[in-house]
Structures are given as C-alpha cells and as structure tokens.
Amino acid sequence: MNRAKQNLGVQKWVALISVLLLVGKFFAYYLTHSVAILTDALESIVNVTAGFIGLYSLYVSAKPRDRDHPYGHGKIEFISAAVEGTMIGVAGVIILYKAILQLLHPVGLEKIDYGIIVIAVTALINYITGFFCLRTGKKNNSAALMASGQHLLTDTVSTVGIIAGLALLYFTGYVWIDSAVAILFGVYIVYTGYRIIRSSIGGIMDEADTAILEVMVRVLNKHRRENWVDLHNLRVIRYGSILHVDCHLTVPWYLNVHQAHQEIDALAAPIRKEFGESLELFVHSDGCLPFSCRICNKAACSERKNNFERQITWTLENISSNKKHELKDHD
C-alpha cells in the first residue's frame, strides 16, 4: 500500500476513535463532577479536533506533485502538527485554570468508582490507538501521524495519573487531590504542546535533523569506497513522509561521466536500503583537486600530486561543511 494512503487510513481511525472516547469521558464527568476527569475530557476535545485537522493534512499530503508544488504537499503535515501542539497547550492552560478554581472553591464529587472504570477503559483504547499510530508514523516518516500518536500516548499517561489520583481520593476522601492531580497533568500537557510546536516549527524551517544525519554518516563511513575521496555539503530536508537529501561527492577528476555515476549509484544504494524508497537523493559529483591527494587512499592513481597522509573520517560536523575537506599544514 502507498505510504501516504496508509497514513490517511490510520488517521481516519484515529479521528473516529477520538469521537467515541470524547463521549465516554464526558459521560464520566457527568457522573462524577470531577475536575480531573473534566481535564481528560477537555483534552479529548483537542484530540477530536486535531484528529480531523491531521486527517485533512494527510489527505493534502497524499496528493501527487504538481507544477505549483514540485516537491509535493508534505510540508502541510508540519503545519497540522503545529496547530495540534497549539491546541494541546491551550487545553493545558484551561485545565490549570479549572483546577485552581476547583481548589479554591471545592465542589462535591459523586460516583467516583464508576468514573474510574469508564476512564480506565478509555485509557486502554487510547494507548492501543496511540501506539499503533506512532509506530506507523515513524515507519512512514509522517510528522502528522507521529504528532497524533504522541498526543494519544500523552493523553494515556495523563489519564492513568488521573485514575491513580481518583483512586486515592476514593479511599481517603480528600477532595483537594482531584484538583492537585489536574494541576500536575495540566502542566505536563502544556509542556507536551510546546514540544510538538517546537518540532513542527523545526520542520517548517528545514532545521537539520541530526538523528537522520548521524545514521547517514554511519552508513556512508561503513560502505565507503576508495573513489569516494570526499563528501561534503550533506543536507536533509523533510517533506511530509519524503526525505530530500543532497550532497557533493568528490571523485577522481579523470573518471568519465559514466564512471562517476556508478560511484553515485554505489553511494545511493546503502542509503536507500537504510531509509527505504521514500527518499530523494541528489548527488553532485566534484573532481578532486591536488590538495585532495593528501586525504585520498586510492592506491592505483597515476595522477597523484601529493602523498597520501590520512583519510578524513566523516562526522556530523564536517560532512555538512560547504567546502571540500583538506589537511592543513599543522594537521
């Protein structure tokens, strides 16, 4: 199945399940009048809204490239994630407000045991849905799906905490525990919203993804060939589930076009094996220069101008440099 269509299908289930869980949580709040359960219900409103926003973004992201969008429509997933993060943050602030108000002006609680049962069922469903959603999002490099999955798992953690607080309240009778639990998880929800916003803005601004770059550096060092004299200007940009990678590969200057492309294909093979077909790789081949001889360990080279001294191991820091590597006199 096409990854974009798979992402869209998963998000449809997320949106539907979110609606059902929302109904269940408000029913629990109706039974108990617990502000902690209201905390969970308010976050579920965010889940539902965010679920449909994510659904629309994945629908747009799945559209084929066109003349106006030559790189596709994947960037909308970051916008969707930013909106979802903002909504999570706002929900957290509302939760904190309601919890503090309840702490100052306590309201009697009822049927806590029934409320715990209903909320526990929603937590289990949330966890299963969020786990599957996050796993699929990571597998398919979908920012929107990963945001949805992270959101649902965060909701599960907060729900479990709320259940623990309500159980403590049920056995002790201390009403202030309800507000204290809501405040604690309100802060956690605000922080989660911030993290999602921070990540999505990084994607929109094409912030370097160090985790992906580190994997690429490891793979390229492992499969390095003698004709790969140098590699620099490595960049990775994410468009939804598609990774766009470009770099400059320095090869012996006397290779013909066909031979240079053979080296490019050899470089692309292990990267595609590691990251799958949802990757676009653009490699610009450079001819080596006399100073490159000092870092080139090619044994059979009739054009060598300088003796080989040592090979430069590619690292996250030097592989992103915008110029060919060379040894300085003091190296």
Q: What angle do CA 168, 173, 178 make, to 5 degrees?
A: 60
Say if residue 165 is in the same domain as residue 236: no
What is the DSSP track for 297-316? --SS-TT--S----PPPP-T
Say if residue 198 is in the same domain as residue 258: no
Per-residue pLDDT band for 75 (boundaries 50, 70, 90) equals confident
Domain harbouring 271, CATH code: 3.30.70.1350
Q: In this predicted structure, what is the pLDDT of residue 258?
A: 93
Structural domain count of the chain: 2
Mean of pLDDT values over 143-165 = 79
Strands 279-287 and 242-251: parallel
Domain boundary among 160, 187, 204: 204
Say if residue 224 is in the same domain as residue 145: no
Say if residue 137 is in the same domain as residue 155: yes
Predicted confidence (pLDDT) at residue 321 exceeds the cutoff of 80: yes
Per residue in 28-51, pLDDT tens? 888 887 777 777 787 777 777 777
Say if residue 18 is in the same domain as residue 97: yes
Domain boundary among 204, 228, 263: 204
According to DSSP, the residues that pair with 248 across neighbouring strands are 232, 284
Higher-pLDDT residue of 97 and 265 is 265
Top mean pLDDT of 63-72, 148-157, 219-228 is at 219-228
Q: In this predicted structure, what is the pLDDT of residue 266?
A: 93
Q: In this predicted structure, what is the pLDDT of residue 1?
A: 47
Domain harbouring 175, CATH code: 1.20.1510.10
Say if residue 28 is in the same domain as residue 143: yes
Q: In this predicted structure, what is the pLDDT of residue 329?
A: 62
Predicted confidence (pLDDT) at residue 16 exceeds the cutoff of 90: no
Per residue in 280-307, pLDDT tens? 888 999 999 999 999 998 888 888 888 8
Q: In this predicted structure, what is the pLDDT of residue 168?
A: 80
Task: Please return the burial class of 274, using the count of CB atoms within 10 Å of its CB with bins 0-12, 13-18 and 19+.
Answer: middle
Say if residue 39 is in the same domain as residue 169: yes
Higher-pLDDT residue of 216 and 278 is 216
Say if residue 115 is in the same domain as residue 234: no
Domain boundary among 204, 229, 246: 204
d(CA 42, CA 46): 7
Per residue in 110-123, pLDDT tens? 788 888 888 889 88
Predicted confidence (pLDDT) at residue 11 exceeds the cutoff of 70: yes
Per residue in 202-236, pLDDT tens? 777 766 678 888 888 999 999 999 999 999 998 88
Say if residue 128 is in the same domain as residue 222: no
Per residue in 233-274, pLDDT tens? 988 887 766 778 889 999 999 999 999 999 999 998 998 888
Percent of the chain at pLDDT above 90? Answer: 12
* Mean pLDDT of the chain, nearest integer: 82
Predicted confidence (pLDDT) at residue 198 exceeds the cutoff of 60: yes
Say if residue 106 is in the same domain as residue 254: no
Say if residue 186 is in the same domain as residue 221: no
What is the DSSP track for 164-220? HHHHHHHHH--THHHHHHHHHHHHHHHHHHHHHHHHHHHHHTT---HHHHHHHHHHH
Say if residue 153 is in the same domain as residue 28: yes
Q: In this predicted structure, what is the pLDDT of residue 253?
A: 92
Q: In this predicted structure, what is the pLDDT of residue 36?
A: 72
Supply the range of the domain harboring residue 161: 3-204
Please state the pTM of the whole predicted model.
0.61
